[in-house]
Amino acid sequence: MFGEIVRHLAPHEPVRIIVRTASLESKARALLAQNAVDLGRVRFYRWPSDRSWIRDSGPIFVRRSATPDSPAAVGATDWRFNGWAKYENWRRDDRLPARIARELGLPTWRPTVAAKRVVLEGGAIDVNGAGTLLATEECLLGTVQERNPGLERAGLERALSEFLGVDRVLWLGRGIAGDDTHGHIDDVARFVNESTIVAAREPNPDDVNHQPLEENLARLRTERGPDGRPFRIVELPMPRPIAYDGQRVPASYLNFYIANGVVLVPTFNDPADRQALSTLAASFPGRTVRGIHCGDLIWGLGTLHCLTQQEPAA
């Protein structure tokens, strides 16, 4: 699976991979060679880490558009990562944004409010590139996760505005069952472009995901895009429930990764796979949509978006 992911990405964009040891790098190189990957498009970094979900622990890159007085530029925001306020092994992951920014020679900002670093994971937000951000109240405003005790909605929105250039936040309610991140948006709703949002829907009223996803869709239908018109909402099906060792896992087609020229979509050997791929192919007319079977990856409670973090070109 990992070889297949890189095989599809490498023709479109450089791929950077973090490994813990030289031995793991050697094994990874052999695997990629078996998958006919051009290793000249891949670079490895031997850094200690706690887990593979770089979306949440890694830097969130920002880009300044070119002006008559200054060229376009890329920087990195280093939000605090604390293992989703749930796990104890997170300190090596929390050091990754600074390591990555130094390696790439990028300016870095550490978002703070009242002298305290703000906790934020990349999978908790999605942006349209025009000042609008998607998030769930369960994740960023709930009390159970204790990400940012004492930081209210207005303060968090100011931090998102200051460090990510966000003008407005579209707040949805809850995430999906089995998500141990307390409601990350990347399993619920994603931007396709400035004015189009793909959102998960579970039509089965007996499924635990039915009500929260219906409520999210109802909220989205009341929102308007940057042109003042309602957002175009595209519904994406949910796969059938998947359980591992008695625990439901957060399988969702929304956990796709958008690359240059290609969109990688998690699939689950489910009848809805075909519909999800077809819907996303129509939503990304300028890119090829590729399904990647994530039956093994989802046991770790994440898939393709969780595993990746895009770096914008300057």
Query: Dihedral of the CA atoms 82, 87, 92, 96 (nearest 10)?
Result: -50
Same domain assignment for residues 134 and 35: no
Long-range contacts of 6-11 (CB under 8 A, 24+ apart): 6/32, 6/35, 6/37, 6/42, 7/32, 7/35, 7/36, 7/37, 8/259, 8/262, 8/264, 8/290, 8/292, 9/259, 9/262, 9/264, 10/37, 10/38, 10/41, 10/42, 11/38, 11/41, 11/261
Which residue type occupies 152? E
Domain count, the chain: 2
Candidates 163, 158, 162, 156; CA nearest to 62 is: 163
Q: Does residue 242 sit in the same domain as residue 296? A: yes
pLDDT in tens, the chain (314 residues): 899 999 999 999 999 999 999 999 999 999 999 999 999 999 999 999 999 999 999 999 999 877 777 787 899 999 999 999 999 999 999 999 999 999 999 999 999 998 899 999 999 999 999 999 999 999 999 865 578 988 999 999 999 999 999 999 999 999 999 999 999 999 999 999 999 999 999 999 999 999 999 999 999 999 988 888 999 999 999 999 999 888 999 999 999 999 999 999 999 999 999 999 999 999 999 999 999 999 999 999 999 999 999 999 87
- Looking at residue 143, what is its pLDDT? 65
pLDDT value, residue 9: 96
Same-domain check for residues 301 and 180: yes
Please check whether residue 312 lies inside any domain of the structure: no
CB atoms within 10 A of CB 30: 11
Reported residue count of the chain is 314
CATH of the domain at 75: 3.75.10.10
User: Is there a contact between 287 and 258 (Cβ–Cβ < 8 Å)?
Assistant: yes
Query: Do 24 and 168 have their domain in common?
Result: no
Among the options 76, 188, 306, 307, which is catalytic? 306
> 221-236 burial, b if ≥16 CB within 10 A, otherwise e?
eebebeeeeebeebeb
- Check if the beta carbon of residue 292 is closer than 8 Å to that of residue 304: yes
The reply to whether 141 and 258 lie within a common domain is yes
215 with 290, same domain: the answer is: yes
2-9 helix and 22-34 helix, angle to the nearest 10 degrees: 70
Is 98 among the domain residues?
Answer: yes
Tens digit of each residue's pLDDT (9 = 90 or more) over 203-239: 999 999 999 999 999 999 999 888 889 999 999 999 9
Residues 5 and 101 in one domain: no
Helix ranges restricted to H, 169-228:
210-220
Q: Is 294 a catalytic residue?
A: no
7 with 82, same domain: the answer is no
Q: What is the pTM of this model?
A: 0.94
Residue 313 falls within a domain, yes or no?
A: no
Output the pLDDT for position 144. 59
Using alpha carbons, select from 41, 56, 46 the residue that is nearest to residue 20. 46
From the list 180, 170, 250, the residue with the least C-alpha distance to 209 is 250
Q: Are residues 38 and 183 in the same domain?
A: no
Q: Which domain holds residue 9?
A: 1-46
Residue 211, token pair as written in the block = 């009500």
109 and 204 share one domain: yes
| 199 SS3 class | strand
The answer on 216 and 206 residing in a single domain is yes
- Which of these, 194, 126, 199, 115, lies nearest to 159 by C-alpha position? 115
Predicted pLDDT of residue 145:
57
The pLDDT of residue 146: 77
Residue 121 resides in a domain: yes
Contact yes or no for 96/18 (Cβ under 8 A): yes
Alpha-carbon distance 128 to 191, whole Å? 6
